[in-house]
Structure 1
């Protein structure tokens, strides 16, 4: 298999509304190594809606600071902090700054990852959101 090096310029960008923009980066499907990765940028004061996934997720804060709300508990986060979130656990990230964008790098443990928004119950496949 040939390795891939990508830069965010020129990749599709998904505007999820409310100050949330996502750039899906790599989908790799090789048996137990299957994963999906990307970067989400959260505008000052914005929050990703509370949601769950059907698989584990790892999130690394690249820039900015805010709060990771995971399973009912708030955790302050800043650059280089990493969160591991088990499948089906409600979570979201909020940018608490009034001037600085927050960027998070995420990895799902499946190329078949789904997101279910808690408030609406609507489920979508992550790879279909592109």
Structure 2
């Protein structure tokens, strides 16, 4: 077996580090993404939230979109989103499974209040208006809930609530949101619209 000299070894090591840095820096580059992508080959992550599998199908920061973003999310039985609101419209298409949407449509008062409950099921769709506090839960004990989500005005800024009686002023802003953190430079938090 041939030996590699120390200078050649360090040259290869530097090249590896350089191309690794380029790859990391370009993971949010619009030029890196083909027009047609296989959803099953797109990266999926739970972002530390048990029961969630999130894929950004078409994103503002990842793919250069300016008006909409599309996600594929799967929630395992018993899991759900936090109680939250955001400064964009959101449309859901339920691909499989069933669950419950909790929505406080009059949540523009001082706090969300008691939510209305709506059953969701495969082939159903629903929408969430700007700043209406809501939560999606997989209440099916035996099957995943899979939804296709379209949001307007990306990247999303999310205000998270501990409960339905928490005042809006006490909600916690999460911006950039987990799947945007790797692409968005931290800026001062945007103004809350309520």
TM-score by length of 2: 0.59
Q: Which has the larger radius of gyration?
A: 2
How many corresponding residue pairs? Answer: 126
Q: Does 1:87 align with 2:87?
A: no
1:19 aligns with 2:51: yes
Larger relative contact order (C-alpha < 8 A, sep ≥ 6)? 1
Q: Which residue of 2 aligns with 1:97?
A: 140
Deviations 1:46-86 (A, max 9, x none): 11111111111111111000101111111000011111111
The structure where helix makes up a greater share of residues is 2
Report the alpha carbon displacement of residue 14 of structure 1 after superposing the two structures with TM.
2.2
1:43 is aligned, of 64, 76, 81, to 76
Match for residue 110 of structure 1 among 147, 153, 162: 153
Does the CA-based 8 Å contact 2:80-2:136 persist in structure 1? yes
Greater displacement, 8-17 / 58-67:
8-17
* Structure 1, unpaired ranges of 5+: none
How does the TM-score come out when normalised to structure 1?
0.85
Deviations 1:2-50 (CA, angstroms, capped at 9, x unpaired): x93322222122213121121111025566xx10111110001111111
Instruction: Pick one of 38, 57, 61 that aligns with 1:7.
Output: 38
Assess if the C-alpha contact under 8 Å between 1:14 and 1:129 holds in 2: no
Runs of 5+ consecutive residues of structure 2 not aligned to the other structure: 1-33, 105-114, 163-170, 183-194
Matched, 1:124 2:155: no
Whose strand proportion is higher, 1 or 2?
A: 1
Separation in structure 2 between the aligned mates of residue 21 and residue 128 of structure 1, nearest angstrom: 15
2:102 maps to 69
